[in-house]
Amino acid sequence: MTATGLTKNLKKRKEVDGEVQEPGPFAETVGLEMLSDEEDEDGGSGSGDREVDEFPEIDTRSDSEDEYEGSEDGSDEEDDEESSEASSDADSGLHIFPESKTILSNITGQLKHVYPEIEPDYDSDSSTEDAPNRVGNVPMHWYDDLPHIGYDMNGKQILRPARGDELDKFLSTVEDPTSWTAAFDKTLQMDKPLTPEELDIIRRLQANEVPDPSYNPYEPTTEWFTGKGKEEVMPLTSAPEPKRRWVPSKWEKQKVMKIVRAIRQGRIVPFKPSSSKPQFYSIWAEPPSSHPPPLPAPKPRLPTHSESYNPPEEYLPTDAERAEWEANDPEDREKDYLPKKYSALRLVPAYDRFIKERFNRQLDLYLAPRVQRTKLNIDPNSLIPKLPSPNSLRPFPSYRSLRFSHDKGRVRCLSISPDGAWTISGDEDGVVSLWEVNVGREVKRWKFDYKIGALEWCPRLDISFFVVGVEDKLLFLIPPHLPSAVFTLTKSVLAPATLPPAPATPSPIKWNTPPSSTSADSPILTIDLPSSSGVPRQITWHRRGDYLASVSSSEGQGGVWIHQISKRHSQAPFKKIRGSVQLVLFHPLKPHFFVATQRYVRLYNLAEQKLVKTLMPGIKWISCMDVHPSGDHLIVGGYDRKLCWFDLELSDKPYKILRYHTRALRSLQFHPTYPLFASSSDDGAIQIFHSRVYNDLMTDPLIVPLKILRGHEVKEGLGVLQVKWCYGQPWLVSAGADGNVAVWCS
């Protein structure tokens, strides 16, 4: 039935679309058919209505029929009405709003909407529509117990309509196809079919359309200003056209380029899922946070006695305290106010720091750090390494006991006899003095024509002599007043009656023993180094006293020689030397040989003829070096003021670097027996260090600076040129550029 109705409707729409101007009779028939349709529908919907005695809708229907009839009178608008009727029919023909008619205007000759006139009578207001029940908007359950449900306009009771049971409802849904478009009307207490207008609204809402069927969202635009003949000929302003009108917008370009750049860099990806978050989720599903609630704000400190306006006298600051308070920075002050005393409260002036204090309090509550407090709560003394007190490390040299002066020339070198009783010192004037360590009385003096480069006493105790290095020569001298046994043995060692056989390979070095008739003051043995080898810069003895190494100051090759006394033979340990050799040293225990070039210290094994290791002190120019009596530690000093302590078993790099001197280091020496070493420098100072080394490999050496000995004058930029320890005693002998040799005693 509905299907046939629909096809008919479609047919009608086609007819309407196709021919707007339709002859009247056709329209009549259509109207009739439609009426019949409506009748049918009404009949369907009115199945429930019929139970009501008086149904006002019949009246409205009749009214509209009247209208139709009335409208038939208007010959002009008949076609329009019919067409509109037909169109409304196509839209199920239901209107809740007044329907507009589109007519051709007599004035403009164009189409126009014409709305039916609203009659301002009682009926026109929908709120006054005649609902049969006139009880008003009261809860209907008030009438639950009553046979009627209200009263009509005339005050007569409206009886409760009969309500079927569930079976009736079911039957009605089965039998009556329009029952599903009915809704329960509370005031009438019965199901009432929805009107076609209401059904249309529901349908439109379901289809997401505008509920008003007469509203056309796609109306053609009305051109008011554009188009032919509508141009504005006269400009509105006479201002010249701004540049932005015809220049592409830079700002837009920037905006676009920003997006373009983001696309190129892949920051904007098309079709990216918006977020992984589901569209709907339970906001209470997450477990509650386990964090403690924020702490309450701290309470401000309570004022103390000193903040009183009339504090007791003992709280008032003294002048010194006041001055200190004023001298301090506000961060460093212990209190941020000074207690003041007023005899009466009325004399107290306005509190000048109020604003600032409130502000700071607010910042405190806001947790806003205002002052970067870098104050470390560390006792500065605890940062100083725990070193034992120098007093507990006695004995060490602490004062100058005596001084021995060379008349002229700076004293370059000195040496102390192995019994610790005698000192020899050589100056640049060529004088070698032998003097008693303890009294400082010169006993003997030798004078040479050249400046003395190095001196060294033979470490053997059964014989007694020393070697003096002058220009191209090593001279062997015997001190006076020797016991006859020692003297005889020394002579036999240095000038034996039968010379040992000459070595197979000839050496460029000559060993000369002067004839015995020469005086006792002359050297007993002379070693002629190769000519132009210069002044020997260093002479060092092997511990056994048979080998002695000399380093000459000449540039280039051949500076280092090792001389063997017993075989009267000299050899160059190196065929080729890289860099200029500064110093050499014999290892005290092993057959090792230290060679210091300008920057590195190399350790050679003389027995196996190979390089053992290279030490890198990181000094630009090595000036001095000494090896610990245990042979495991080496100290190296440089002209760049550094002193490096090497643990030979630990690393090629220094274990410790000390920079205590202000000028270049000149000399270093370990004490042979006491745990001491001394360094001297061009700043005229000698520094004494305690240096305890341990046999176990776990404990690091303990180096404690003990004493700075001052007393040498700096002359021409040179300070203390050599220091030597006294054997057996913690005494130090130092030779200075000022021509003095000082003995420092504990």
Among positions 2, 62, 254, 488, the unique one binding other proteins when judged by CB under 8 A: 488
731 touches other proteins by CB under 8 A: yes
Give 426's contacts (C-beta < 8 A, 6+ positions apart): 411, 412, 413, 414, 432, 433, 452, 454, 455, 468
Closer to other proteins by CB, 402 or 714: give it: 402
DSSP states of 173-237: HHH-TTGGGEEEETTTTEEEEPPHHHHHHHHHHHTT--S-TT--TTPPP--SSSSTT----S-S-
- The verdict on 297 binding other proteins (CB under 8 A) reads no
Per CB under 8 A, the list member of 484, 505, 609, 695 interacting with other proteins is 484
Rounded to a whole number of angstroms, the minimum distance from the CB of residue 501 to other proteins is 28
Rg (CA), the chain: 62
Is the CB of 682 or the CB of 738 nearer to other proteins? Answer: 738
- What mask, x for binding other proteins by CB under 8 A, covers residues 407 to 436? ------------x-x---------------
**Quick check: 711 binds other proteins (CB under 8 A)?**
no
The verdict on 109 binding other proteins (CB under 8 A) reads no
Residue the block writes with tokens 């602490």: 398
Residues 117-176 that bind other proteins (CB under 8 A): none
Query: Which of 26, 180, 315, 399: binder of other proteins (CB under 8 A)?
Result: 399
Residues sharing a CB contact under 8 Å with residue 613, sequence separation 6 or more, in sequence order:
602, 603, 648, 652
Which of 571, 729 has the CB closer to other proteins? 729
For other proteins, which is the closer residue by CB, 48 or 730? 730
> 59 to 78, contacts with other proteins by CB under 8 A?
none
Q: How far is CA 256 from CA 244, 250, 252, 263, 271, in A?
A: 17, 10, 6, 10, 19
CA distance 610 to 572: 15
Pairing mode, if any, of strands 547-552 and 560-564? Answer: antiparallel
Number of C-beta neighbours around residue 73 at 10 A: 8
489 binds other proteins (CB under 8 A): no
Return the range that interacts with other proteins (CB under 8 A); candidates 56-64, 87-95, 486-494, 709-717. 486-494
Q: Name all contacts of 309-314 with Cβ < 8 Å and 24+ positions apart.
A: 309/340, 309/341, 309/342, 309/345, 309/348, 310/341, 310/342, 310/343, 310/345, 311/339, 311/341, 313/341
Q: Least distance to other proteins from the beta carbon of 673, Å? A: 12
Per the CB < 8 A criterion, the answer to whether 712 and 689 are in contact is no
| Tokens 């209505």 found at | 49
Which residues contact residue 104 at a Cβ distance below 8 angstroms, ignoring those fewer than 6 apart? 110, 111, 112
Helical pair 56-73 and 24-49, crossing angle rounded to 10 deg: 170
Nearer to other proteins, 205 or 439 (CB): 439
The number of residues that bind other proteins (CB under 8 A) is 27
Tell which one of 481, 575, 578, 610 touches other proteins (CB under 8 A).
481
692 contributes a contact to other proteins by CB under 8 A: no
- Shortest distance (Å) from residue 462 CB to other proteins: 11
Interaction of residue 729 with other proteins, rule CB under 8 A? yes
User: In terms of CB distance, is 52 or 489 closer to other proteins?
Assistant: 489
Q: Does 487 bind other proteins (CB under 8 A)?
A: yes
Length of the chain: 746
> Shortest approach of other proteins to residue 699 CB, angstroms?
25
Q: Is 672 in the site for other proteins (CB under 8 A)?
A: no
Q: Which of 220, 270, 369, 483 binds other proteins (CB under 8 A)?
A: 483
Q: Of the two residues 300 and 395, which places its CB atom closer to other proteins in the complex?
A: 395
Please report how close the Cβ of residue 698 comes to other proteins at its closest, in angstroms.
30
701 conformational bin, left if phi > 0, alpha if psi -120 to 50, beta if neither: beta
| Three-class secondary structure of residue 258 per DSSP | helix
Contact 744, 735 (CB under 8 A): no
Q: Is 441 in the site for other proteins (CB under 8 A)?
A: yes
The answer to whether residue 402 forms part of the interface with other proteins (CB under 8 A) is yes
Token code pair at residue 156 = 């007569």
- Write out the residues near other proteins by the rule CB under 8 A: 394-395, 399, 401-403, 419, 421, 438-441, 443, 480-481, 483-488, 728-731, 745-746
